[in-house]
Structure 1
Amino acid sequence: MAEIRIRNTNERISGEENVKAFLENQEVLYEHWNANKLPTELQNKFVLSDEEKSQILSTFDEEIRDLATRRGYRTWDIVALSDATPNIEELLKKFEQVHTHTEDEVRAIAAGKGIFIIKGTDDVGYFDVELEAGDVISVPEHKPHFFTLMENRQIVAVRLFIETEGWIAHPFADASFNK
Structure 2
Amino acid sequence: MAEIRIRNTDERIQGEENVRAFLENQEVLYEHWNPGKLAPELQEKFVLSDEEKAQILSTFEEEIRDLAGRRGYQTWDLIALSDATPNLDELLKKFEQVHTHTEDEVRAITAGRGIFIIKGTDDVGYFDVELEAGDVISVPEHKPHFFTLMDNRQIVAVRLFIETEGWIAHPFEDASFQKA
**Superposition TM-score, scaled by structure 1 size:** 1.00
Q: Distance in 1 between matches of 2:146 and 2:94?
A: 10
Aligned residues: 179
Indicate the residue corresponding to 2:158 in structure 1.
Answer: 158
Matches within 5 A, 1:131-142: 131-142=131-142
Q: Distance in 2 between matches of 1:153 and 1:67?
A: 27
Indicate the residue corresponding to 2:170 in structure 1.
Answer: 170
Shift of 1:153: 0.4
Shift of 1:79: 0.3
The Cα offsets for residues 82-111 of structure 1, whole Å up to 9 and x where unpaired, read as 000000000000000000000000000000
Q: Distance in 2 between matches of 1:55 and 1:131?
A: 22
Q: Secondary structure at the match of 1:124?
A: coil
- State the one-letter code of the partner of 2:132: E
Q: Secondary structure at the match of 1:36?
A: helix
Q: CA RMSD in A?
A: 0.2
Indicate the residue corresponding to 1:130 in structure 2.
Answer: 130
**Superposition TM-score, scaled by structure 2 size:** 0.99
Shift of 1:61: 0.2
Indicate the residue corresponding to 1:100 in structure 2.
Answer: 100
Shift of 1:69: 0.1
Structure 2, unmatched stretches of 5+, are: none
- State the one-letter code of the partner of 2:30: Y
Structure 2 residue 1 is the aligned partner of structure 1 residue 18? no
Q: Distance in 1 between matches of 2:9 and 2:58?
A: 41
- State the one-letter code of the partner of 2:48: L
Shift of 1:114: 0.1
The Cα offsets for residues 92-140 of structure 1, whole Å up to 9 and x where unpaired, read as 0000000000000000000000000000000000000000000000000
Shift of 1:142: 0.1
